[in-house]
Structure 1
């Protein structure tokens, strides 16, 4: 039965060491929620500034041009013909040409009105004030006409008003005309860039209220208000006739009967033109007609920016207070508000959406920047930036979990599957309820948890790693994804630095194949030591000065020195000996083991020529990583070096050891080349790592070396004694020479001699010595051992 994530989380609660955590210090008790609190504070700040920005922009009409432009677009999409009940009679260029005047006279206007009344027109409105006298005769004619048609004619007028620092005086018809005609305001207010117009339904002069031209044409008698004409009415569909055609009777009465008429100007040089968005230059009188049609279809209600801003505040608040980083509320508002304006236009409700959209855009940019900085782009999880508060955290341990092979797994998985995997681990880590926020960075999870003493922390980390491995293996069928945990306990450092150190520890744990590493004082000391080893190695490789010594190999039957193993014995700058094993590990970690091997080999081959001069059968052994056999360049350099130094290839033995499995197809050609040149191969440290029976098959060696841990325990362990005996028998059956390492007592030497072991080396015979000392020993021909 496959255990579920929940069941594994239950097991985690019983990991040894969880109960022994240290009590958090009071000043630090809220740090576990630092990530969520940080994001909440930043979201709140963005939300407040976004809403304030929207309110201020609404108060100063900052987005008014954009509002007008969008309103014009909506009007264009709703475009419809204007009803035919209001007719435009325009003083156009044809009129001026036919009359031969700059403008029609009042006598012409009088004749025109008589013609319109005779045709049965309901009302006539002049988009002109008739404020200045003409000739006495024409003014008298016009006055008599107004008296005859009293109640049917409206004359234009303009009250005084202020535009910024400019005062506009009022314009009224002549007093004699006002006694017989009504007045209607010609005033309208264009927005910046003339993208929209606002008309009042009435104006007040000296305590008397007068309708606007649009209100007079529409017969509006409601409350006084300002409104925007509905630009959905197409001005070019308004019934329009030339002034001169009506004056000359060329327009049938049926086209005019029962309709209202506005008399305005549209000749080319007239200043009474405004730009209607998407329609071009339109004579001002047409706007009055559109305004009248707007009032007749229903008085518009202007809700201003309040509804849209309320919706956006709710959307921003929903996102700010929510735990998810999904911007769905913001997108709903961003798409919904522009669409909502269309049906509201149809029912004569106007809303201004641009201040709200500005607030929404400000919030969206701010939230996006927060998400980009504090959230992972791959999964729904925070990044370590959300945890990195620049203060100490003495009450907390910092954990980092690295998932090996996550990059390879993500190539096979979809983004959704990867997100589910990471979020399941986050749920699992937070399951017991003691971990704080869990952040995701590259291939690592980082979180904070209450501090533990070291013993409890080690037990907890080991159990946690095992449980996570079980969860990954069972729930995700991925046995290759091994978790590695890094924990930082440098409580005096800022949290941001501790997170980096925990991640570094997790990376090193993954590289070293261990379940966890605790970044404490001991770890720092060891790491500094490794860094120093790396520095020393780099210096030695650069200067090509790596000291070597030689441990003799003794023929157990005769006591003769038959060869020696080359070992690193180096005092950098005349200081203490460097640990050769640490030096080799550092070279392997930095991928410079081949370079180290060649430097050691060069020194050994130069020295080895002297030993061969004493004994032509002397075998010089040099350690080499079996993995290096796949490097054809290294082997070529080695062959070149043998020729340059003049060292016989048949006197060289390569002692091969490895902790990883080898690929036959990669090493077979190189082994054949070595055998062809007479270079001997020895399997070093047999019985450890991968140096086992499989190596006997893959590496056609001439020699086998039994690891010293078996040799040194021969006198006290029957198992070790049996292993050594069996190894000697197997090796001899395969025709190989057997060398025992680590011989330190005569009793062990006697046992090996009795088993038929061929050669031995160890402190019983000699430690590693310089070549001059080895030559002196070789001159003695035989090693004498005191029992």
Structure 2
């Protein structure tokens, strides 16, 4: 089957395709003015603005709080015990209580350091500068201790710095202490909201490089770097001893031997406390961060790549989305998710990248892309809307096509959104198959595209072949025999493309409503539409004045020649105007949504005059045409019942001849059909064998009568196929207990053949044209049709 479709497509290309040079030129124009190019331009603008936003936000550290929060969250998930080679000697509340709530003095510090060194401690670092003098005796004792343990004791120092508009002076040990002691930088920087801390590995102090407390504890001697302590090390697991316990010799030497220690404040009233983001009820003394920093440096100095790699990846993801023909922002989502996961891996390998600016940039791009999608992509399937291919400029080289997908709403009730999308994308693939078509847009239940211009005759053959190919494809690939594609094609090349798209869509809707495969919206069609609009105005006046004329074409019993009924037909000549074509009037009424009003006006006159025929023959059946779609309108059926009551017209003498070209909905018409049958009103399927009036209609409309379309009847004399169709129809109808009426009988040989086949009734010019009721009454008075007289 696929091979058949491919052969059909190849035939269309060979028969109707443009010359190679014309196609190449058309493709070049499509590349410049296509919907894809429009989307690329707009997406590029969004991407550039998003990247600029991301870069500026990085420079001004706008997302820093988010960055710190996510870094803290990663650390919380990576939480692990701290190694035990760095010890905290805490000046805690226990120490202050034993010292009458005072900080330890230098005499006590001297004894503590001596005890620590005697226990085998490698290094002792004070998170305190000892910048203020005490008593001469205690200062001298402390200086002597520093000289005795030179190279093993470090005192804290903070260099002079500018914080905002404020100058902070240097904080350093007393000069007599600096002669023999090492210095360790105590300074660090807390980010906004205190969510993270940054330490240097060393500082420059008077031209001399001094290590930070964390670097001294880690015995780090590398280059100067700024880094963040890894808070994945659980501060609560850092080995800690109370200062007063060390002072009083209550800490076993084995707990201290071979370790580095830091002496710092840890009492409740200290200002040097910080909260961890995901442990709001846990206060961590600042000295502990130096310990965490030491463990961080031992693993390796974190390499801070800042925001550059993430922003580069974000830019690449946006570039992928810019050139993509699909609306889904998969590249942005994958990149965002990848960055969120990758940072966990980088943390383990002491790499740091800042990702929040990139995520903000991709978020801004996603919002911009989504706004573009809402305007230029269908909400139902992954296809562009007509806005993407519309232009305010004309195109003399292109025709505009619109394909109406019949019954798409019906499919939507049974199919998933994915199946609907696959169905539409399959049709798009068929439409683009020959290769001359550019972008195909989808809106509501219509596909729209532009293709190389063709001459009228060639265009008609191409449209007919394309419609047939699509119907075959739908029937085979999607097992749907009820979906008949309808094409609308606009050839008004001097109009803007945007306007022509609307006109092509209107033509496709009209083609679907009329049950034809295509309508070409050219100058002739526009003239016909204008005439129809004018006819709608005339119709509105006729409906308002209720002066629309009718006539009656007799139905003759073929066996006896007796007139058994008549079909009511419009025969109207407005005052001062030419006679109105009944078919054009019905189309105008449908286009103007006035078909039900027209039906009621015609029925009102028919019921009023038809009572005269019933007076002559109580078995006389009066037929009035009605659209089968109107069966779903309960208001119309109520009005019909009201008219029957007003004119005292027997319901069993009324037959509604139903015509339709579109598929009916069972659940909507079934109650109305039951109501009509309950009142004795007859139903007839008109024009059987055309449009949707087929065997399926017989099941959906349990009628009492079936009318064979005149096209089959009039070809009986010359076509064996038509005779076979008529014969089969009569047999099927009779097997279902239905009366068969043949339309368009114009000669005796056809009437004789119908009689021989067992056809029940006939109407046509052989018996009579549509005539006024007065003439019909005269014919009925003669009891037999004139042809049988």
Q: Normalised by the shorter chain, which TM-score bucket?
A: 0.7 to 0.9
Q: Deviations over 1:29-49 (max 9, x none)?
A: 347751111122122222222
TM (norm. structure 1) is 0.81
Q: Do residues 375 (structure 1) and 373 (structure 2) align?
A: no
2:720 corresponds in structure 1 to none
Q: Do residues 66 (structure 1) and 66 (structure 2) align?
A: yes
Q: Give distance in 2, aligned partners of 1:349 and 1:578.
A: 86
Comparing 532-541 with 24-33, greater Cα deviation is found at 24-33
Q: 1:562 to 1:381 in 2, by over 3 A?
A: closer
- Distance apart, 1:160 and its partner CA: 0.7
Q: 1:485 to 1:649 in 2, by over 3 A?
A: closer
Once the two structures are superposed, the pairs formed by residues 356-755 of structure 1 within 5 Å of their partners are 356-409=358-411, 418-541=420-543, 544-548=546-550, 567-570=569-572, 575-587=577-589, 595-606=597-608, 623-625=624-626, 641=643, 644-645=646-647, 656=657, 658=659, 674=680, 687=710, 693=730, 707=743, 709-711=744-746, 714=747, 721-727=748-754, 741-742=764-765
2:203 corresponds in structure 1 to 203
SS for the counterpart of 2:14 is coil
Tell me, yes or no, if the aligned pair for 1:485 and 1:506 is still in contact at 8 Å.
Answer: yes
Q: 1:16 to 1:124 in 2, by over 3 A?
A: closer
1:121 corresponds in structure 2 to 121
Q: Give distance in 1, aligned partners of 2:247 and 2:625.
A: 116
2:716 corresponds in structure 1 to none
- Distance apart, 1:404 and its partner CA: 2.6
Q: Give distance in 1, aligned partners of 2:325 and 2:135.
A: 81
Tell me, yes or no, if the aligned pair for 1:107 and 1:141 is still in contact at 8 Å.
Answer: yes
Q: Give distance in 1, aligned partners of 2:157 and 2:130.
A: 9
Q: Give distance in 2, aligned partners of 1:148 and 1:783.
A: 142
- Distance apart, 1:425 and its partner CA: 3.1
Q: Give distance in 1, aligned partners of 2:529 and 2:549.
A: 24
Tell me, yes or no, if the aligned pair for 1:191 and 1:197 is still in contact at 8 Å.
Answer: yes
Q: Give distance in 1, aligned partners of 2:494 and 2:398.
A: 11
2:692 corresponds in structure 1 to none
Q: Give distance in 2, aligned partners of 1:778 and 1:76.
A: 101
Q: Give distance in 2, aligned partners of 1:360 and 1:416.
A: 27
Q: Give distance in 1, aligned partners of 2:482 and 2:368.
A: 40
Tell me, yes or no, if the aligned pair for 1:42 and 1:370 is still in contact at 8 Å.
Answer: yes
Tell me, yes or no, if the aligned pair for 2:563 and 2:780 is still in contact at 8 Å.
Answer: yes
- Distance apart, 1:399 and its partner CA: 0.7
- Distance apart, 1:377 and its partner CA: 4.9
Tell me, yes or no, if the aligned pair for 1:4 and 1:475 is still in contact at 8 Å.
Answer: no
2:291 corresponds in structure 1 to 289
Q: Do residues 97 (structure 1) and 102 (structure 2) align?
A: no
Q: 1:490 to 1:266 in 2, by over 3 A?
A: same
- Distance apart, 1:491 and its partner CA: 2.0
Which of the numbers 319, 322, 337 marks the counterpart of 2:321? 319
Tell me, yes or no, if the aligned pair for 2:553 and 2:764 is still in contact at 8 Å.
Answer: no
Q: Give distance in 1, aligned partners of 2:463 and 2:605.
A: 46
SS for the counterpart of 1:401 is strand
Q: Deviations over 1:515-547 (max 9, x none)?
A: 110111221222233344444445544554534
Which of the numbers 758, 768, 773 marks the counterpart of 1:761? 768
1:718 corresponds in structure 2 to none
Q: Deviations over 1:435-463 (max 9, x none)?
A: 11122333322211111222221222122
SS for the counterpart of 2:442 is strand
Q: 1:549 to 1:203 in 2, by over 3 A?
A: same
SS for the counterpart of 2:336 is helix
Which segments of 5 or more consecutive residues in structure 2 lack a partner in the other structure?
683-703, 714-725
Q: 1:561 to 1:302 in 2, by over 3 A?
A: closer
Comparing 370-379 with 195-204, greater Cα deviation is found at 370-379
Q: Give distance in 2, aligned partners of 1:75 and 1:193.
A: 18
Q: 1:487 to 1:157 in 2, by over 3 A?
A: same
Tell me, yes or no, if the aligned pair for 2:656 and 2:681 is still in contact at 8 Å.
Answer: no
Tell me, yes or no, if the aligned pair for 1:22 and 1:453 is still in contact at 8 Å.
Answer: no
Q: Give distance in 2, aligned partners of 1:9 and 1:628.
A: 35
Q: Give distance in 2, aligned partners of 1:129 and 1:668.
A: 101
Q: Give distance in 2, aligned partners of 1:97 and 1:659.
A: 100
2:35 corresponds in structure 1 to 35
Matched residue pairs, number? 741
Tell me, yes or no, if the aligned pair for 1:430 and 1:436 is still in contact at 8 Å.
Answer: yes
Tell me, yes or no, if the aligned pair for 1:401 and 1:446 is still in contact at 8 Å.
Answer: yes
Once the two structures are superposed, the pairs formed by residues 323-362 of structure 1 within 5 Å of their partners are 323-325=325-327, 327-362=329-364
Tell me, yes or no, if the aligned pair for 2:565 and 2:623 is still in contact at 8 Å.
Answer: no
Comparing 476-485 with 534-543, greater Cα deviation is found at 534-543
Q: Give distance in 1, aligned partners of 2:550 and 2:680.
A: 24
Q: Give distance in 2, aligned partners of 1:214 and 1:263.
A: 12
Q: 1:568 to 1:187 in 2, by over 3 A?
A: same
Tell me, yes or no, if the aligned pair for 1:156 and 1:186 is still in contact at 8 Å.
Answer: yes
Q: Deviations over 1:90-124 (max 9, x none)?
A: 21111111111432222222232233233332222
Q: Give distance in 2, aligned partners of 1:426 and 1:38.
A: 19
1:51 corresponds in structure 2 to 51
Comparing 575-584 with 666-675, greater Cα deviation is found at 666-675
1:88 corresponds in structure 2 to 88
Q: Deviations over 1:712-745 (max 9, x none)?
A: xx4xxxxxx31023346777x96x7x7x6436xx
Tell me, yes or no, if the aligned pair for 1:127 and 1:263 is still in contact at 8 Å.
Answer: yes
Q: Deviations over 1:57-116 (max 9, x none)?
A: 222212111111111122222222222222211211111111114322222222322332
**Greater RCO (Cα-Cα under 8 Å, separation 6 or more):** 1
Q: 1:699 to 1:625 in 2, by over 3 A?
A: farther
SS for the counterpart of 1:436 is coil
1:172 corresponds in structure 2 to 172
Tell me, yes or no, if the aligned pair for 1:20 and 1:452 is still in contact at 8 Å.
Answer: no
Q: Give distance in 1, aligned partners of 2:394 and 2:287.
A: 74
- Distance apart, 1:405 and its partner CA: 3.1
Tell me, yes or no, if the aligned pair for 2:154 and 2:182 is still in contact at 8 Å.
Answer: yes
Q: Give distance in 1, aligned partners of 2:197 and 2:640.
A: 92
Q: Give distance in 2, aligned partners of 1:131 and 1:62.
A: 38
SS for the counterpart of 1:71 is helix
- Distance apart, 1:609 and its partner CA: 7.0
SS for the counterpart of 2:203 is strand
Tell me, yes or no, if the aligned pair for 1:393 and 1:495 is still in contact at 8 Å.
Answer: yes
TM (norm. structure 2) is 0.81
- Distance apart, 1:200 and its partner CA: 1.0
Query: Which of the pair has more CA radius of gyration?
Result: 1
- Distance apart, 1:354 and its partner CA: 1.7
Q: 1:682 to 1:80 in 2, by over 3 A?
A: closer
SS for the counterpart of 1:15 is helix
Comparing 667-676 with 103-112, greater Cα deviation is found at 667-676
Q: Give distance in 1, aligned partners of 2:629 and 2:246.
A: 107
Q: 1:776 to 1:213 in 2, by over 3 A?
A: closer
- Distance apart, 1:357 and its partner CA: 1.9
